[in-house]
Structure 1
Amino acid sequence: MLRTPQLELAVESAEGVRLAASVGAARVELCAALTETDGITPSIGTVEQACGVDLPVHVLVRPRPGSFTYSAEELEVLERDVVAALAAGAAGVVVGMLADDGGPDVAALRRVSDVARSHSPAAEVTFHRAFDAALAAGVDPADALARLHDGGVSRVLTSGGSADCTAGRPMLARLVELGRDHAPSLQIMAGGGVRLELMSALVRSGVHAVHTSARNYDHSTGTRANAADPLLAASMAAALSAGG
């Protein structure tokens, strides 16, 4: 029997959290500059406001756009932002650090997860789509998942190493299977180019969660809207609940 994946919305404000709560999302990923940078760390004021809404908030902690290999100073900033987000009421954090070989950086992940859980034992750590950069670099999927497990990660956001979930559906299903052996406690969350008509296929792939910004795409300009569409978000939530 297929599981019903949880819905996670990517949002940039308390208003976005309220929208997510209204459609029955399980949680949000809170970020800043989503359109411009694919997301960076939001301000602490934004985090505090968002955490005032009755829905789990997972804060993206990404100190800058660009590569996912960080200097020692950048990692220190990242760790401080993790602590600040949790102190402001976040239920979890979203990070992504890659080692020099292109795969997930176990040492850096372990440091961050230890810091997070020393502050809040129940904190969840999600690894973002840096995972897709690792797969695109040729890192073995089973090894990449095992590294996340060893690094204390709760969940991975991925499009299956492809540009979007449409192209990545076969790998998403494979990651679910591989995860059972190599990272049994890790949730696989599909994200990247998620569309309403894709929900059924994602449910069949066996993923544990689906991540979307629920922003409409303007084909004339090649860009997405700056905010979620309430009707689209509600339709996506209903499609997941109905099994796609």
Structure 2
Amino acid sequence: MPPSRPMLLEVCVESAAALAVCEGVADRIELCSGLDIGGLTPSHGLMQQARASGLETHVLVRPQIGDFAFDAVTLEMAVEDIKHTKALGLHGVVIGATAKGALDQDALHKMLQAADGLTKTLHRAFDVVDDQFATLDTAIAMGFDRILTSGGATTAFAGRAQLAKLQDHANGRIEIMAGSGVNSANVAEIARDTGLTSFHASCTAKTAMPPKTVELGFGPHRRTIDKAELLSLKAALSS
């Protein structure tokens, strides 16, 4: 990859231990919880830890699992979480809301208003809309700085042809960041085929939980960041 194009790595972080691993390696982080269910809003305590780490932190604001539809109560929760992110002095928010195959502009306007002064990323709600190109233009008009997307595919690698088209359509007006399944083995090919310079990854390692914990329904594993994979991914972006 040409050295004149800086390659940026954003890493999903859902624990204090992961924060420590990312220090000095990740260019920025997406702070969240519940990665096994697509990511949810992180706790107040983790936000405070992120602030103390000095990492450029963008907070996922997603109050519920499932789809990206917001009722009035859920929207109120999201707005308050955004205000809290801003009050803590963190760098940005990662948000999204959809209705009838398009962005829910009414809900997003309220969230964007609360996020004034923060960097604003449209998350992979973008991947479920009917027309990604029209939605990209809408996101720009609404004031988003970045779109996180797999190109509408299960993984960014599978969606790289669409990612290339989105990058061309964006034409420098908004940052397109590839996410979902990005790793050290495929990031160079994704970058080559798409022209993207911004990548989102979890670098996840999973530790099995004791049988009794699993039996009682508390989850089959714990996620951690594989430091070796994180370093390999960063090296692949620097080569």
**TM superposition score category, shorter chain reference:** 0.7 to 0.9
Q: Which residue of 2 aligns with 1:7?
A: 9
More strand by share: 2
Going from structure 1 to structure 2, the CA distance change for 1:170 and 1:42 (only over 3 Å counts) comes to same
Q: What secondary structure is seen at the aligned counterpart in 2 of 1:160?
A: coil
Number of residue equivalences? 224
Q: What secondary structure is seen at the aligned counterpart in 2 of 1:189?
A: strand
Check whether the contact 1:6–1:26 (CA below 8 A) recurs between aligned residues.
yes
Q: 1:194 aligns with which of 182, 192, 195?
A: 182
Q: Which residue of 2 aligns with 1:110?
A: 109
Q: What secondary structure is seen at the aligned counterpart in 2 of 1:165?
A: coil
Q: Tell which structure's C-alpha radius of gyration is larger.
A: 2
Going from structure 1 to structure 2, the CA distance change for 1:217 and 1:188 (only over 3 Å counts) comes to farther
1:216 Cα offset (Å)? 4.0
Q: Report % sequence identity.
A: 37
Q: 2:197 aligns with which of 192, 196, 208?
A: 208
Going from structure 1 to structure 2, the CA distance change for 1:224 and 1:151 (only over 3 Å counts) comes to farther
Q: Which residue of 2 aligns with 1:174?
A: 165
Check whether the contact 1:214–1:228 (CA below 8 A) recurs between aligned residues.
yes
- Rounded Cα–Cα distance in structure 1 between residues aligned with 2:164 and 2:206: 26
Q: 1:129 aligns with which of 124, 138, 142?
A: 124
- Rounded Cα–Cα distance in structure 1 between residues aligned with 2:198 and 2:176: 7
Check whether the contact 2:157–2:190 (CA below 8 A) recurs between aligned residues.
no
1:5 Cα offset (Å)? 2.4
- Rounded Cα–Cα distance in structure 1 between residues aligned with 2:95 and 2:166: 19
TM-score (ref. length: structure 1): 0.86
1:17 Cα offset (Å)? 2.2
- Rounded Cα–Cα distance in structure 2 between residues aligned with 1:213 and 1:141: 24
1:224 Cα offset (Å)? 8.3
- The one-character-per-residue Cα deviations of 1:46-102 (angstroms, maximum 9, x if unpaired) are 111111111111111100101101112211110110011121221001111012x21
Check whether the contact 2:126–2:132 (CA below 8 A) recurs between aligned residues.
no
Q: Tell me, yes or no, if structure 1 residue 239 matches structure 2 residue 236.
A: yes
Structure 1: unaligned runs, 5 residues or longer: none
Tell me the amino acid that sits aligned with residue 18 of structure 1: A
- Rounded Cα–Cα distance in structure 1 between residues aligned with 2:16 and 2:10: 15
RMSD: 1.8
Structure 2: unaligned runs, 5 residues or longer: 208-219
TM-score (ref. length: structure 2): 0.88
- The one-character-per-residue Cα deviations of 1:12-68 (angstroms, maximum 9, x if unpaired) are 123322222232x21100101112x12111111111111111111111110010110
Q: 1:144 aligns with which of 119, 130, 135?
A: 135
Going from structure 1 to structure 2, the CA distance change for 1:8 and 1:209 (only over 3 Å counts) comes to same
1:195 Cα offset (Å)? 2.2
Check whether the contact 2:206–2:223 (CA below 8 A) recurs between aligned residues.
no
Q: Which residue of 2 aligns with 1:32?
A: 33
- The one-character-per-residue Cα deviations of 1:180-238 (angstroms, maximum 9, x if unpaired) are 1xxx43110000011211111222211131000101479xxxx9861110010011011
